[in-house]
Amino acid sequence: QVQLVESGGGLVQAGGSLRLSCAASGRTFGSYAMGWFRQAPGKEREFVAAINWSGGNTYYANSVKGRFTISRANAKNTVFLQMNSLKPEDTAVYYCAADRRWTSSTWYREEGMAYWGKGTLVTVSS
């Protein structure tokens, strides 16, 4: 069992930055790929970024590529999402997810993540 707790959300002006964190419980953190999804008001949840077990490979949605960076610290059971050059359209609840699989379809198509956090709200004002 893995429990995920997100933090770091808040209100920021367009062009600003935020850093989200996701703390995971359990001793098997290093065996899970980790990722972030988001859900804006009135929209479906969408993939944002993912990172493999070692941190050596990543996936990004085109909408955030070049602005967001995902990273992980296995010794601290934590995954991060550094968000720069934020836009109003980045406003959403951001969810952390964990899964043992590492394929593009698993993450880009959100194919049944094993574990989810409860989310943290990011609001970007114009």
DSSP letter at 27?
T
Structural contact between residues 80 and 20, judged by C-beta atoms closer than 8 angstroms? yes
92 Cα distance to chain centroid: 12
> What pLDDT is recorded for position 8?
98
Instruction: Render pLDDT for 11-31 as a digit per residue (tens, 0 to 9).
Output: 999 999 999 999 999 778 889
| pLDDT at site 1 | 83
pLDDT of residue 28: 84
Q: pLDDT under 50 in the chain at which residues? A: none
Cα 32 from Cα 114, distance rounded (Å): 10
Return the pLDDT at 29.
85
Q: Which amino acid is at 20?
A: L
**pLDDT at site 26:** 79
Q: How many residues does the chain have?
A: 126
